[in-house]
Amino acid sequence: MTRNSFDTELDALHFEVVEMAAHTEKAIEQAIVALKNNDMLLAQKIIDGDDLLDDFEKDIEQKCVHIIATKQPVAKDLRLVTAILKMITDLERMADHASDICEIMLSLSKESPIQIPEEIPLMASIASEMVRNAINAYVHKDIALAHHVIERDKEINRYFYAAVAHIQDIMRQDVQMITQATNVIFIAKYIERIGDHATNVAEWAIFNITGIHE
């Protein structure tokens, strides 16, 4: 295989990852909209679309393994394939968490209403921004933006612990709300995990540029 044809194969792989990332970002943004607007139809739509991201992950993974086995890439080419293999796992997990949030919303809609702590929408907005910036850091090879994503994870963690404290107060005040309150904690945890996975993507974006995994 000539260098030009190998570059074409790597470019196609890169663009497929970017396409997967765009679908992941959209799923997360829509899940947040559904959560803020209590939109059950949108929540169900996100759940129904989750298989698409699973298919992306499997297809890209197979292509990466094929490249490693048959082309034996080195240096920056190997860094790219390695970073992609790692990132697609995080992208798929983030999409899973968007679907998880929507499934909990559907469950909550069948119970007595519970007040959502104000920290959760704030967490969701930060998580969405982190995902968008992590993807852009990879696409544009922007180390500074990747570091910004990593730093914001601390902020989302602070909101998470504050949200959990508020939900625990609800549990103590009304034991009949324990089921709903527990589900809200899960929503907060899934948002926090989206932030963690966005951080991972940012770290692999840095690795793709520098060869160093932070």
Task: Check whether 76 has a pLDDT greater than 80.
Answer: yes
Task: Check whether 144 has a pLDDT greater than 60.
Answer: yes
Average pLDDT score over residue span 78-87: 96
**pLDDT tens digits, 102-115:** 999 999 998 888 88
When mean pLDDT is compared across 3-12, 39-48, 153-162, 184-193, the lowest value belongs to 3-12
Amino acid 2: pLDDT = 65
C-beta of residue 166 within 8 angstroms of C-beta of residue 181: no
C-beta of residue 1 within 8 angstroms of C-beta of residue 86: no
Return the exposure string of 22-55: e unless at least 16 CB atoms fall within 10 Å of the residue's CB, then b: eebbebbbbbbebbeeebeebbeebbebbeebee
Amino acid 134: pLDDT = 98
Evaluate if pTM is beyond 0.95: no
99 phi and psi angles, rounded to 5 deg: -65, -40
Domains and CATH numbers, the chain: 3-210 (1.20.58.220)
Angle, helix 3-37 to helix 40-48, in steps of 10 degrees:
150
Amino acid 8: pLDDT = 85
Amino acid 101: pLDDT = 97
How many angstroms separate the CA atoms of 12 and 26, rounded? 21
Amino acid 1: pLDDT = 53
Task: Check whether 208 has a pLDDT greater than 60.
Answer: yes
Q: What is the mean pLDDT of the chain?
A: 94
Amino acid 3: pLDDT = 65
C-beta of residue 112 within 8 angstroms of C-beta of residue 152: no
Task: Check whether 43 has a pLDDT greater than 70.
Answer: yes
Residue 39 DSSP code:
-
Return the exposure string of 84-95: e unless at least 16 CB atoms fall within 10 Å of the residue's CB, then b: bbbbbebbbbbb
